[in-house]
Amino acid sequence: MLETTANGSLLTSPGKVDRYAGQDFNEHVTLENWQESPFNRWGFVHISELITTATIRRGRASGPSTGSESATPEHAERWHSVEEFLESTHTDAIVVLQHGKLVLERYFGSFQPHDRHVLMSVSKSVCALTMGILVGRGLIDPQQPVHHYVPPLKGSAYGNATVRQVLDMTAAVRYSENYLDAAAEVQQQDRIAGWRPKLETDPEDTYEFLTLLKAAGEHGRSFQYCSAGTDVLAWIIENVSGKRYAEVVSDELWSQLGTLDDALITTDSGGFAFANGGIACTARDLAKIGQLMLDEGKANGQQVVPSWWINDTMRGGDPQLARGTAYQQVHPNGSYRNQWWVPGDSRGTVYAAGIHGQFIWIDPVSDTVIAKFSSYPQPVALELSRAHAAGFRQLISILEYTS
Amino acid sequence: MLETTANGSLLTSPGKVDRYAGQDFNEHVTLENWQESPFNRWGFVHISELITTATIRRGRASGPSTGSESATPEHAERWHSVEEFLESTHTDAIVVLQHGKLVLERYFGSFQPHDRHVLMSVSKSVCALTMGILVGRGLIDPQQPVHHYVPPLKGSAYGNATVRQVLDMTAAVRYSENYLDAAAEVQQQDRIAGWRPKLETDPEDTYEFLTLLKAAGEHGRSFQYCSAGTDVLAWIIENVSGKRYAEVVSDELWSQLGTLDDALITTDSGGFAFANGGIACTARDLAKIGQLMLDEGKANGQQVVPSWWINDTMRGGDPQLARGTAYQQVHPNGSYRNQWWVPGDSRGTVYAAGIHGQFIWIDPVSDTVIAKFSSYPQPVALELSRAHAAGFRQLISILEYTS
């Protein structure tokens, strides 16, 4: 049915109010403001209208979704606190799988099951799974230095880091990951990637940007979260495969998972796909990435990612390397391995996280995957990390209690 | 399997040669050149990497394709001339349905079954089918003037034209459709739509552009092919539905046809979806639009578009209105109705056409649909039109002969 009334959403498009007479479409979403609240609620779901994109294809034989569409354990006594968690963290969508079955699926605001939400740094975890496939095939040796696979990076920060160090983010790079600082490298990367208006002084594209980064000491000594590292991994993937990054993710990973929809990835003027943060997909498909982890790399009855790669990832890295980080203020025993966060708790939790509240949270004990999209106003904050860790753990305990 | 060798395509990405060591990726495709040969072969298939896009969703329950993937009537004696036709017209893909079944499917160069090719003005025919649905529902009366539905167009060229006149392109507009003239309105529209680099003197977006067009005489007197008219239809569709154009096409048409994949449509800085030429889809899905015409508006067992709208379209308009046009040099009895071309031949042919050789050709006598994507070097040419009419008719006669 065609709706002839306004859909009640304040932020629906970059359109003009006088052009949608009688509608509430009275706010602009622009390249300048789409990452800021409240514009991010629309921007995170309409990234292809703001930035150019390439397709990451679903499997050709994908059928309709199986499982209940809105399973909610309404009888749970503590459920209201989960509702509060979802509301207070500006949730756009949550999909929970337990024992591989859909047990909870909720959408908020105007977000729909078919909508694709930007993953932010959850994209990094997707990149490393793709790399795990190529490592398993012998195309990449994590002990090799980066310049072995990408000669133009020789002499730059990442050139003599090993692939392993880049995977675990222990390369030492002069790079500020302060999302709110216009002078930070992470914002410059945004501009070059087409995520913000470009400055004349910026390098031409991400490839060039990566060649210009400078080292900041000895690699391998400590954990330094740096978005550029994932883009280096993507460049390695392109060079060893002879294909573009989006094609490799399509062919090797996304089309093999029984995904229901294509995903997207933003591209820059040089054709570089923004591996560190630019994927957008549906909530249901995102949960399939988590299920792949729980199933030790198997999906649709076949081994997509080597099981040893998944196991190595879920065991985590060395927590000593992350001493003194904000991360360990939330997860004191936490480490970072193969672009996944490993809290080091007794349940074997592992998670992928993106700014503004994007998550895949995996709990092996209860065999649960939680995929969550949000439009949290701040990109990163201790209370955001704490609220999510607590919220996910409570949700899992309720599911255990009621199942 | 991952290919580790170059794919043999000269034009594969906007990437740089030194960044893809050992590959043949040595040409740039840019916003300046993507519509020109040979760059258009890549550009037409990667439009989302050059221009921002919105999604036109497939049906959620779509399954895998049915039917043979490469049925070719190789035994046909005259088949070599069809091969010549396909080669000489720079074909990227051709899909032929007969009695609703796939009887021929061929891809050329690097174009794949999952690739989405830009439709150019075949997009217009999709727009009018969508409007037919809303007319059938009583939301639009074709006899009303345009300003009745879009008040901001009052006083501009289209304001006092009727919707019927815009559908049949008999509105009189000061507008040059010369694709190769930088001063022509059609190129200005390209720039505003994000299809070419914008000039500072250009209007902000397509909405504003449409309000500035001037009339050029009395409406309804003669056929004047003018791309802007379709964008006016899309604006009407947005205003009567309260939804954005891509949403309406998704909900009412594309998701109802058993399409296998999402389609895309390019968007401009004002959020306007480029209705007159900006849709991209797979060849298989495009053929479903033709099948919908042959099936009098039915698809998947339901009436998607009113049958009377389809019948009215296929009967054609008044050929007198198109006297003296290049169109009638190819089809002397040709007319234009509801954004479809109706040659007025004895077989009841009707077709949709886009520059550089995009076609849906429908032959009711043999119950055949031909969907064809091309990267023909010239946008329009008499020999291009003649070659396609002759090629399609020969192909159909071979299918009749061999079936």
Compute φ and ψ for A303, nearest 5 degrees: -80, 105
Encoded amino acid at A1, one letter:
M
Give pLDDT, residue A13.
39
Closest CA in chain B for residue A22? B242
Q: B6 CB near a chain A CB, below 8 Å?
A: yes
Residue A288 one-letter amino acid: K
CB atoms within 10 A of CB B334: 21
Count CA atoms closer than 13 A to A57's CA, side-chain side: 18
Q: Name the residue in chain A with its Cα closest to that of B13.
A: A271
Specify the pTM: 0.89
By C-alpha distance, the chain A residue nearest B18 is A152
Which residue numbers in chain A have pLDDT < 50?
1-27, 61-69
Radius of gyration of chain A (CA): 20
Touching A: B residues 107-146, CB under 8 Å: 114, 116, 134, 137, 139
Tokens of A366: 């209860």
Q: Which of these is catalytic: B13, B62, B110, B121?
A: B121
Condensed to tens digits (0 to 9), the pLDDT of residues B79-134 reads 888 999 999 999 999 999 999 999 999 999 988 898 999 999 999 999 999 999 99
- Please count the CA atoms within 13 angstroms of the CA of A67 that sit on its side-chain side: 17
> At residue B85, what is the residue type?
F
| Dist CA B111 CA B107 (whole Å) | 6
Sign of CA dihedral B151, B152, B155, B161: negative
C-alpha to C-alpha distance for B9 and B32, rounded to whole angstroms: 21
Smallest Cβ–Cβ distance between A238 and the set B20, B116, B264 belongs to B20
Mean pLDDT value across residues B150-163: 97
- Residue-level pLDDT at A66: 42
Answer whether B234's CB lies under 8 Å from B242's CB: no
Name residues 247-266 of chain A within 8 A of B (Cβ). Answer: 248, 251-252, 260-262, 264
A15 touches chain B (CB under 8 A): yes
User: A7-64 pLDDT, tens per residue?
Assistant: 223 233 334 433 333 333 334 788 888 888 888 888 888 889 888 998 888 865 444 4
Q: Helices B283-294 and B307-315 meet at what angle, rounded to 10?
A: 90
pLDDT digits (tens, 9 = 90+) for B289-306: 999 999 999 998 999 999
Cα–Cα nearest to A241, from A209, A250, A276, B110: A250
Assess whether A123 carries a catalytic annotation: no
Residues of chain B positioned with their CB less than 8 A from the CB of A110 = none
Which residue in A121, A156, A335, A374 is the catalytic one? A121
Distances (CA, A) of B103 to A309, B67, B109, B398: 45, 8, 21, 12
Measured between beta carbons, which residues in chain B are less than 8 angstroms from residue A114?
A: 57, 60
Nearest CA in chain A to B149: A21
Q: Please name which of A397, A329, A389, A346 lies closest in space to residue A368, comparing C-alpha atoms.
A: A397
- With beta carbons less than 8 A apart as the criterion, state whether B390 and B401 touch: no
Is the predicted pLDDT of residue B25 greater than 70, yes or no?
Answer: no
**Residue of B3, B54, B64 with shortest CB distance to A243:** B3
DSSP code for A125: H
Flag whether residue A46 sits within 8 Å of chain B, measured between CB atoms.
Answer: yes
Beta-carbon neighbour count of residue B398 at 10 Å? 18
Alpha carbons A203 and A53: distance in angstroms, whole number: 20
Question: How many residue pairs from chains A and B have C-beta atoms closer than 8 A?
Answer: 144
Chain A residues close to B152, C-beta within 8 Å: 18-19
B348 CA: distance to closest CA in chain A (Å): 33
